[in-house]
Amino acid sequence: MLKSILVFCFSALLAQGVFAAETATPAPADAKVYFITPEDGATVPQTFKVQFGLSGMGVAPAGMDKANTGHHHLMIDGKEMPMSGKAMGQEVMHFGGGQTETMVTLPAGQHTLQLILGDMGHAPHHPPVMSEVITIQVE
């Protein structure tokens, strides 16, 4: 019984990111994720292609436990990437199949985009591998 309670408590703390730094999947210091397209400041049509770039690491589907790999996540008009070590939620688009591009449709106006690489369980690496925030104008 005590063992079950301890396992439950540890799992709850882990889910809340309390042990994030100790349990986060390591990333090489030189790893970098970036946008190939669109460029910062670009004007794009309502439906446009987003291409993800990655250096210093490889792309692998979610659930694949392979060192120095991850899969892409795209945040649109987000305020802050989840950095607690918890899996990223609905505030980001997940590309768990190892995709390196997607088509996005947005309403007219100004929008921000940011990429973050997630580990096999969708959590950010340590240190986090994330792009700069770019701003685009949708026609």
- The Cα 114–Cα 127 span in angstroms is 16
Domain boundaries along the sequence of the chain: 2-138
60 neighbors 98 (Cβ within 8 angstroms): yes
Which two three-digit tokens encode residue 66?
């392979």
- The Cα 129–Cα 42 span in angstroms is 23
End-to-end alpha carbon distance in the chain: 60
CA proximity to 124, closest of 132, 113, 116: 116
Amino acid symbol at 67: A
pLDDT tens, residue order, the chain (139 aa): 444 433 343 344 344 444 444 568 999 999 999 999 999 999 999 999 999 999 999 999 999 999 999 999 999 998 766 655 556 766 689 899 999 999 999 999 999 999 999 999 888 898 999 999 999 999 9
* Paired residues of 61 in beta bridges: none
- For residue 13, what pLDDT is reported? 38
Domain formed by 2-138, architecture: Sandwich (2.60)
64 neighbors 41 (Cβ within 8 angstroms): no
- For residue 121, what pLDDT is reported? 87
